[in-house]
Amino acid sequence: MRHLQIYTAIRAIVQAGSFRKASELLAISPSALNRQIKALEAEIGEEIFDRLPQGVRLSTVGEMYYRQFSRHLDEIRGVGETVSEMQGTRIGHVRLRVSPELMHGFLQGQINRFRAAHPKVSFEVRVSASDRFALALQEGESDLALILQPQYRAGVTTLFSEPVALRAVVPNAARPLPVIRNEHFLDHDLILPPEGSGFREFLDVQFKARLLEVTAGQVTDGLMRPHGATGRQTLQIWPLVDLEEDWLAQRGARAVEVAKLPPARIALCQQEGRNLPSAAARFAAQLAEGVQG
């Protein structure tokens, strides 16, 4: 297992960006970690890392080795999970990248449901922009990516892609609007996703199609508590699958239909050509059921 330890160390260095930070995560000294890497570099006859004034980065050769090392680590982890299932313990670890628009209620509910059935499976969830998730999959830093309006790259396979309805989150006024129409976008204080994100590009296309010149009162990638502090009520478009009645009720909010607003698209992706570990594959199947059902 010596090689597995050094592969794990290399992954930690890549993710941390320096020997010092990686050594803290691995609970060894930076000098000991550096000696391990130098010994491997001497063995293969190439430098894996470019040493920079601040931190390190993979060399061109290192990038090729790193992909192979990561693939080997994932394969060993998958074998361990298969053995665990054969023994009836069903342990595992699922690494997931997710759009911020899907972090509020849907994903946590799915994780809670899965862990109730498989309590020995752990999760690592990181928020990812719609144009950054592919890199995390390709570099072996994530098993799955659940993305709203993904911006695809080569090397990624889509496990499922489904339309999701959108709603406007507004304060629960005494005379609530039955439906949001064009004029309401102009008399509300709009909360929009960051420019360049897949969801923002989707919304900008919808505003352009409606001949609306809107201005964001606030830009954020999270679901905000609606209010009227600016003198106008806020309005934020959000995927219906991630809105919970309890969250809305506790914050004096309502989810209102938007007239003629087409659905956005949610996709679950993985690295192309990779066999998922058992726990990740099972969770992917549950996510598909949750979105489609």
User: Which residues sit opposite 218 in a β-bridge?
Assistant: 191
Dig out the tokens for 189 from the structure: 């204080």
Identify which of 66-80, 128-142, 164-178 has the greatest average pLDDT.
164-178
Q: What gap in Å lies between CA 78 and CA 94, rounded to an integer? A: 11
**Pair type for strands 189-192 and 216-219:** parallel
Q: What gap in Å lies between CA 285 and CA 288, rounded to an integer? A: 5
pLDDT digits (tens, 9 = 90+) for 210-227: 999 999 999 998 899 999
Q: CB of 136 within 8 A of CB of 128?
A: yes
pLDDT digits (tens, 9 = 90+) for 121-141: 999 999 988 778 888 888 888
Q: What gap in Å lies between CA 229 and CA 237, rounded to an integer? A: 19
Evaluate if residue 293 carries a pLDDT over 90. no
- Mutual angle of helices 106-117 and 278-292, in 10-degree steps: 130
Identify the three-state secondary structure at position 89. coil
Mean pLDDT for the stretch of residues 187-201: 93
User: pTM of the entire structure?
Assistant: 0.71
Evaluate if residue 64 carries a pLDDT over 90. no
Provide the strand spans (E) within 49-171.
49-51, 56-58, 92-98, 121-127, 144-148, 156-164, 166-171
